[in-house]
């Protein structure tokens, strides 16, 4: 009885207030929706909640209560206005939104309810197909927004990556919910939050995205064996703008991007070889054209995030030659001078670390070093003690460097009598904070070898792959989410704002599989997944 009196008093007080637009922003809570239908659609309860929460936010007028705070109070979706209004009082909200989604075969009936101090009780219904669920939710959110704050001049913007008709999978956009539906449930090439480029007629070796011109525009650079190709995003397609042709005797191995001279323009850093010599180079990109800034750099380069700041730092390493491609303890920080990049002080790393295969993973007040060595991940403490080794393979690539693999005491033999060894450069190890999380996570590529690689050791055309997000719990690397399996060979990936909307996406470059014989023509496709 006391609770009912509180609600009645709140309503009486509210009607004496002026219009919302003239007051401070009102807090609102979007409660989990009740989903009646097959179990496979249960995720929509949180997905619809997250979508409405973001769409109803209006600067200066409405502010959402985070889903994390709501979920601490709300255990199940409310079934009546009374239950919703009681939750509204407990959450100290000015209005609440709740509802049901009834799914029968391909049809979906949406019943959406709202209650608030100035709003009273309001409801609307939508009947749609699963294929048109997202547009129906967008329309409902706009109607509800108009009811709450009046007609708004600006339209609710659709996500830039939603170019086609979308089925009933909506990536969460609330800060406390960061796992895309693609990482948990069945995939769909037209699902919201996923973008796929057109097929490009060449095989790629890497991708980076960033502002190379200082204009705020995101430039996309795809590396092939002998070229670097620049693209921009136009009408949800990649538009080719320029190509840099390296000498045909060069072989590009690794591409990175970093603002080396702190002028607001990121440079493109290429590690390359010419026969048995390292011939790395650095490119600039301005007015739609490449400029070669430095050439014939005699060491490999990479970008990592060392402690204590965990900000990007350029590192480098020379090759040792002979039976040891990399000499332990020789990864150094690179300083950028007017004469070009130069190797500086050594980094404190475990013996198996080289310029291509490690990154730092913050852990509490310390850090771990993650190394990709021979297709497995190893985790070392900051004092170089090995703490963990994965049982599954990760970070495999087909990109190999040759070296003379001879046994001790046989160095006097001629090169023709030595067996040729291959060091396969692993794909990236990315450590980053993901949306809605305070701790750092490790992102790595998990490759799947297929049957033929178990027969032929050097068959490295991996037909499938996934990206895994993992965290360290002081015992092991544990998976948080993974992408659905991609039916192509992952060559590179990164967290980039590829569509220029201010949010990072998971961007993956893949090569189509060349078939069992390995002679079919390889093509490039770029994929992007929303993280928020």
Predicted local confidence at residue 74, as pLDDT: 83
Domain positions in the chain: 2-179, 197-407+415-530
d(CA 404, CA 421): 6
Contacts of 385 (CB under 8 A, 6+ apart): none
Predicted local confidence at residue 175, as pLDDT: 42
Predicted local confidence at residue 65, as pLDDT: 87
Predicted local confidence at residue 23, as pLDDT: 56
Predicted local confidence at residue 419, as pLDDT: 61
Predicted local confidence at residue 483, as pLDDT: 92
CA 102 to chain centre: 32
- pLDDT at residue 380 tops 90: yes
Averaged over 398-409, what is the pLDDT? 66
> What's the pLDDT tens digit per position in 281-302?
999 999 999 999 999 999 999 9
Pick from 82-91, 92-101, 386-395 the range whose average pLDDT is largest: 386-395
Tokens 């190709």 belong to 229
Q: How confident is the model at residue 190 (pLDDT cuts 50, 70, 90)?
A: low
Tokens 């989410």 belong to 481
- pLDDT at residue 189 tops 60: no
Q: How confident is the model at residue 79 (pLDDT cuts 50, 70, 90)?
A: confident
Predicted local confidence at residue 173, as pLDDT: 46
3-class DSSP state for residue 498? coil
**What percent of the chain is predicted at pLDDT more than 90?**
43
> What's the pLDDT tens digit per position in 195-235?
999 999 999 999 999 999 998 899 999 999 999 999 999 98
The answer to whether the predicted template modeling score (pTM) of the entire model surpasses 0.75 is no
> What's the pLDDT tens digit per position in 435-494?
878 889 999 999 987 544 444 445 577 888 999 999 999 999 999 999 999 989 999 999
Pick from 90-99, 142-151, 166-175, 217-226 the range whose average pLDDT is largest: 217-226
Q: How confident is the model at residue 421 (pLDDT cuts 50, 70, 90)?
A: confident
Averaged over 428-441, what is the pLDDT? 89
| CATH for the 197-407+415-530 domain, from 1.20.1300, 2.120.10, 1.10.150, 1.20.120 | 2.120.10
Q: How confident is the model at residue 41 (pLDDT cuts 50, 70, 90)?
A: confident
Cα atoms in the 13 Å half-sphere on the side-chain side of 444? 32
In CATH, 2-179 is 3.40.50.10070 = yes
Averaged over 495-521, what is the pLDDT? 82
Q: What's the maximum distance between 2 C-alpha atoms anywhere in the chain?
A: 96
For the chain, the C-alpha Rg in angstroms (whole number) is 27
- pLDDT at residue 183 tops 70: no
d(CA 226, CA 244): 9
Tell me if 124 sits within 8 A of 112, measured CB to CB.
Answer: yes
Mean pLDDT of the chain: 81
């Amino acid at each position: 009885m006391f609770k009912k009196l509180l609600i009645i008093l709140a309503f009486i007080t509210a009607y004496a207030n002026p219009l919302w637009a003239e007051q401070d922003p009102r807090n609102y809570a979007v409660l989990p929706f009740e989903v009646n239908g097959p179990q496979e659609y249960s995720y929509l309860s949180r997905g619809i909640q997250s979508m409405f929460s973001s769409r109803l936010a209006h600067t200066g007028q409405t502010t959402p209560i985070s889903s994390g705070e709501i979920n601490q109070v709300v255990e199940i979706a409310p079934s009546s206005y009374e239950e919703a209004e009681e939750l509204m009082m407990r959450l100290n909200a000015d209005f609440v939104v709740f509802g049901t989604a009834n799914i029968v075969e391909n049809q979906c009936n949406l019943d959406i309810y709202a209650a608030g101090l100035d709003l009273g009780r309001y409801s609307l219904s939508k009947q749609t197909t699963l294929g048109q669920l997202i547009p129906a939710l967008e329309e409902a959110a706009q109607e509800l927004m108009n009811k709450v704050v009046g007609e708004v001049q600006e339209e609710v913007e659709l996500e830039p990556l939603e170019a086609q008709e979308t089925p009933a999978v909506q990536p969460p956009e609330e800060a406390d919910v960061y796992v895309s539906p693609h990482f948990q449930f069945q995939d769909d090439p037209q699902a919201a939050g996923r973008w796929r480029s057109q097929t490009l007629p060449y095989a790629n070796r890497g991708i980076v995205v960033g502002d190379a011109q200082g204009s705020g525009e995101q430039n996309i650079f795809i590396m092939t064996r002998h070229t670097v190709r620049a693209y921009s995003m136009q009408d949800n397609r990649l538009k080719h703008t320029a190509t840099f042709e390296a000498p045909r005797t060069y072989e590009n191995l690794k591409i990175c991007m970093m603002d080396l001279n702190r002028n607001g323009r990121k440079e493109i850093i290429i590690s390359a070889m010419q026969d048995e010599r390292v011939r790395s180079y650095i490119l600039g990109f301005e007015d739609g054209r490449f400029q070669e800034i430095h050439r014939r750099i005699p060491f490999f380069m990479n970008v990592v995030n060392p402690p204590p700041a965990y900000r990007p730092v350029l590192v480098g390493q020379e090759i040792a030659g002979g039976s040891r491609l990399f000499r332990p303890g020789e990864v150094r920080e690179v300083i950028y001078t007017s004469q070009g990049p130069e190797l500086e002080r050594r980094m404190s790393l475990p013996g198996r670390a080289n310029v291509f295969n490690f990154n730092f993973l913050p852990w509490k007040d310390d850090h771990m070093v993650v190394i990709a060595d021979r297709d497995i991940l190893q985790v070392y403490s900051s004092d170089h003690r090995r703490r963990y080794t994965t049982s599954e393979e990760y970070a495999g690539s087909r990109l190999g460097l040759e070296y003379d693999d001879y046994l001790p005491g046989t160095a006097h033999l001629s090169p023709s009598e030595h067996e040729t060894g291959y060091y396969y450069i692993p794909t990236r190890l990315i450590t980053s904070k993901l949306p809605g999380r305070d701790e750092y996570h490790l992102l790595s590529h998990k490759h799947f070898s297929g049957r033929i690689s178990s027969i032929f050791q050097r068959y490295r055309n991996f037909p499938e792959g996934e990206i895994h997000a993992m965290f360290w719990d002081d015992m092991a690397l544990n998976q948080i989410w993974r992408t659905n399996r991609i039916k192509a060979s992952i060559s590179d990936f990164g967290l980039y704002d590829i569509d220029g909307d201010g949010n990072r996406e998971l961007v993956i470059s893949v090569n189509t599989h060349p078939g069992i014989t390995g002679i079919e023509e390889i093509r490039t496709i770029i994929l992007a997944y929303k993280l928020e």
